[in-house]
Structure 1
Amino acid sequence: MPGSVEDLMERAAAHLPAPVAAYLAMGSGAGIAAAEATPAWDALRFAPRVLRSVTDVELRDADGLLPFGIAPATLQRAVHPDGELATARGAAEAGARMVVSSNTGTPFRAIAETGVTWWLQTYLPPDRPSAEPLLQRAVEAGAAAVVLTADTPVVARKRDAVAARVWGEIDPAFVGAEHPRTPLEVPERGEGTDRYREKATDLGPHDIGWLAAVTGLPVVVKGVLRADDAQRCIDAGAAAVWVSNHGGRQFDGALPTARALPGVVASAAGQVPVYVDGGLREPRHLCGAWGLGAAQVFLARPVLAALALGGAAGVRDLLLGLAEELVEACRLLGATTPADLAGTVVKSEHHRGDSCGLDR
């Protein structure tokens, strides 16, 4: 992977139309949560192990997939003409999971035809049955899991002037390809319409079971920052919990995921896998996530940058480049698998006391 991920993102920002670049980069409110994400990973320190053979490093799981994948993101066709189709092709070639936004601008079946292993991200509307057609199409197209975004009872305010420019200048065909034509879901504007922006404000643990019953798929709950919430998800039947603050795009000032992860991992205590996203930009960040107990890491903005500049090949090269660098990082830390990194992270004073009341 030539150059750093940060360099890639800077070049992509210069390449994209200004309102698109601004919309993808922005956080909510004053942007505090978005700005703190990467520095929280930077603050981690490691104690490498020595006198251990690191000749053979294996990153991939039993299915041949990388331990880092692609987080859900909308507006991909505004980033590149082929949108999610290019992202899926790049992920398939690299052997990485892709989580597809329910606001995708590309039909599920077209994404599935690339051969990518994919999960569906979904919000739930106030009227749960209205979500069933979309969920059923995802199941029929081969989604392997459903990811419930739990941190969006309402969509947090962004910088309104920039957001207005984006929705005024982006072709509405870029989003909403999979939404049925119902009063709650308007495909012409996707997430940009007021009607579709309405989310369930009564979301609860019972919805995990409902989604599992409707889809027959494992349900991952995304947007968990608290240890007690993680346990509630597990008790309700979640197959995994995903530590995320929505890329800093929901409550501004929410805990960085690097600081929330240890408490959630402690609460899960091996009952289910814990995933994480948010501000990961360097191989050492991913090593830090695994060292703190994450089973899978997900990336969004770096992937969008690679998509913008190189389409499917750009996404593939980003993922394979990271994998190559991670082999070196694992060797330097004395690990032969991501799981071997457990216990190598030395948390600084900056990272103490963030388990939100359930430190075990």
Structure 2
Amino acid sequence: MSDPETVHENIGNRKLKEIYRKGMLEGEAPDLPVSFEDIREAAWENMSEEGRAYVHGGSGGEETFERNKDFSKWRIVPRMLRGVAERDLSVEFLGEEYDWPLLVTPLGVQTLLHDDAEHATARAASDLNVPFILSSLSSTPMEEVAEELGDTPKWFQFYWSSNHDIAKSFLDRAEAAGYDAIVLTVDAPTLGWRERLVARGYYPFMAGEGVANYFSDPEFRAALDETPEEDPSAAVDYFLDIFGDSSLQWDDLEFVFENTDLPVIIKGVLHPEDARLAIEHGAAAVDVSTHGGRQVDGSISAIEALPAIVEEVDGEVPVFFDSGVRRAKDAFKALALGADSVFLGRPWAYGLAMAGERGVRHVLENFLAELDLTMGLAGCASVDEVDRSTLKHETELEP
């Protein structure tokens, strides 16, 4: 693992010097694409049609998916001569200090992107000390990913199971494996209508993809007549029967808090009242998210929802943000609107499909470098200085 002190000290300047030195003095331009669009194009060449549909698509007509990307209504207003030679991208929340205001968002079924799946993503995140959130629907058991991550901060994203013995087992396993927090996703009580998948009749879990945590779980295996190895079809059917629980209500969260000592982040909040309810029921933090535009089509976008939730929370707990972040300017704007940190998803996912571990590291390092430079150019020497005063909404610019 790289020394975080040497990695994140003015990473933007260091990265640019490295690129330009190789280009101008050694005649070596970057051999991997740089822009999100070019990375996605390169990734698609390596992905199946089903993989592209799963990762790229949103729900319905993808109105929310598209609206999520509209950060342009907020404009950065740079300040000059602010003494930004040394920039600090570290943040502190949940009693810990982190090198970056960035986490690897949970993404399931990574075998659709690359054979090395979560192993590759975890190694890349660990190399840069970027906190990693593992999906319940990973292609690799949580214990193996935790071992790959070592001392890198790691959280476990938890989907509720209607079999509470399995749900408790997941919480126990995550804690035993050394995960630092539980990220409870609440915006998926049922599947979204994802037309790209519906049109292909494709649902990866029915093919036994993304179920490694279930097939390796002792309570899941105990509920089967035969092991998943002996009868994988029956195991998949049982997974489909017990995955999720649309009957859940806020009071049911007590089960999670009773069965883990880890802090619990509620992921998928879009309404200020839900943020308040999350806090009242014991949440250590909330994450503003539309599930990447994959659940309710036509909903408010995450960036539209963020300011009101930040106002409601008023610093009582950290507020995280995901959905629609493609470039560092998007992360900057989310931080300026009050997010404590940002979860990044599709950019590194396409990096994984493009070039495995190297592709993920390429995306994460470039993202952090651009964020560092954006902060400096905007006149911010630390993440604390990235606040609402650095932005203007387009309505504030109208004559």
Question: What is the TM-score when the length of structure 1 is the normalising length?
Answer: 0.89
Work out whether residues 162 and 242 of structure 2, in 8 Å CA contact, stay in contact via their aligned partners in 1: no
Deviation of the 1:166 alpha carbon: 5.4
SS of residue in 2 equivalent to 1:80: coil
Work out whether residues 97 and 117 of structure 1, in 8 Å CA contact, stay in contact via their aligned partners in 2: yes
Partner of 1:356: none
Work out whether residues 154 and 198 of structure 1, in 8 Å CA contact, stay in contact via their aligned partners in 2: no
Which runs of 5 or more residues in structure 2 are unaligned? 1-31
Give the aligned length.
Answer: 347
Task: Give the stretch that moved more between structures: 23-32 or 46-55.
Answer: 46-55
Deviation of the 1:259 alpha carbon: 0.5
Deviation of the 1:270 alpha carbon: 0.4
Distance in 2 of aligned mates of 1:152 and 1:326: 31
Distance in 1 of aligned mates of 2:147 and 2:332: 32
1:53 aligns with 2:104: no
The one-letter code of the counterpart of 2:210 is V
The sequence identity of aligned pairs, in percent, is 33
Work out whether residues 63 and 297 of structure 2, in 8 Å CA contact, stay in contact via their aligned partners in 1: yes
1:83 aligns with 2:113: no
Partner of 2:395: 349
SS of residue in 1 equivalent to 2:139: coil
Distance in 2 of aligned mates of 1:283 and 1:196: 40
Partner of 1:177: 212
The one-letter code of the counterpart of 1:71 is T
From 131, 135, 151, the equivalent of 2:167 is 131
Map of 1:30-69 to 2, 5 A cutoff?
A: 30-38=61-69, 40-61=70-91, 63-69=97-103
Distance of aligned partners of 1:33 and 1:154 in 2 relative to their CA distance in 1, 3 Å threshold? same
Partner of 1:18: 49
Map of 1:1-360 to 2, 5 A cutoff?
A: 2-38=33-69, 40-61=70-91, 63-114=97-148, 115=150, 116-159=152-195, 160-165=197-202, 167=204, 172=208, 174-179=209-214, 180=217, 181=220, 188=232, 195-196=240-241, 198-343=243-388, 344-349=390-395
The CA deviation string for residues 197-233 of structure 1, in whole angstroms up to 9 with x for no partner, is 7422232333434312212100000000011110111
Deviation of the 1:161 alpha carbon: 3.8
Deviation of the 1:165 alpha carbon: 3.7
Work out whether residues 138 and 213 of structure 2, in 8 Å CA contact, stay in contact via their aligned partners in 1: yes
The one-letter code of the counterpart of 2:173 is R
Distance of aligned partners of 1:48 and 1:76 in 2 relative to their CA distance in 1, 3 Å threshold? same
SS of residue in 2 equivalent to 1:222: strand
Work out whether residues 138 and 211 of structure 2, in 8 Å CA contact, stay in contact via their aligned partners in 1: yes
Deviation of the 1:164 alpha carbon: 1.9
Question: What is the TM-score when the length of structure 2 is the normalising length?
Answer: 0.81
Deviation of the 1:64 alpha carbon: 4.5
Work out whether residues 12 and 309 of structure 1, in 8 Å CA contact, stay in contact via their aligned partners in 2: yes
Partner of 2:27: none
The one-letter code of the counterpart of 1:297 is V
The CA deviation string for residues 178-208 of structure 1, in whole angstroms up to 9 with x for no partner, is 1133559x96579897724742223233343
Distance in 2 of aligned mates of 1:166 and 1:135: 26
Work out whether residues 208 and 219 of structure 1, in 8 Å CA contact, stay in contact via their aligned partners in 2: no
The one-letter code of the counterpart of 2:58 is G
Deviation of the 1:91 alpha carbon: 0.4
Partner of 1:357: none
Deviation of the 1:118 alpha carbon: 1.3
Distance in 2 of aligned mates of 1:329 and 1:103: 34
SS of residue in 2 equivalent to 1:148: strand
Distance in 2 of aligned mates of 1:165 and 1:199: 19
Work out whether residues 157 and 184 of structure 2, in 8 Å CA contact, stay in contact via their aligned partners in 1: yes
Deviation of the 1:98 alpha carbon: 1.1
Work out whether residues 22 and 162 of structure 1, in 8 Å CA contact, stay in contact via their aligned partners in 2: no
| RMSD, matched Cα | 2.5
Larger radius of gyration: 2
Distance in 2 of aligned mates of 1:321 and 1:241: 27
Distance of aligned partners of 1:49 and 1:112 in 2 relative to their CA distance in 1, 3 Å threshold? same
Distance of aligned partners of 1:244 and 1:206 in 2 relative to their CA distance in 1, 3 Å threshold? same
Distance in 1 of aligned mates of 2:67 and 2:293: 9
Distance in 1 of aligned mates of 2:367 and 2:83: 22
Work out whether residues 219 and 238 of structure 1, in 8 Å CA contact, stay in contact via their aligned partners in 2: yes
Task: Give the stretch that moved more between structures: 7-16 or 66-75.
Answer: 7-16
Work out whether residues 119 and 145 of structure 1, in 8 Å CA contact, stay in contact via their aligned partners in 2: yes
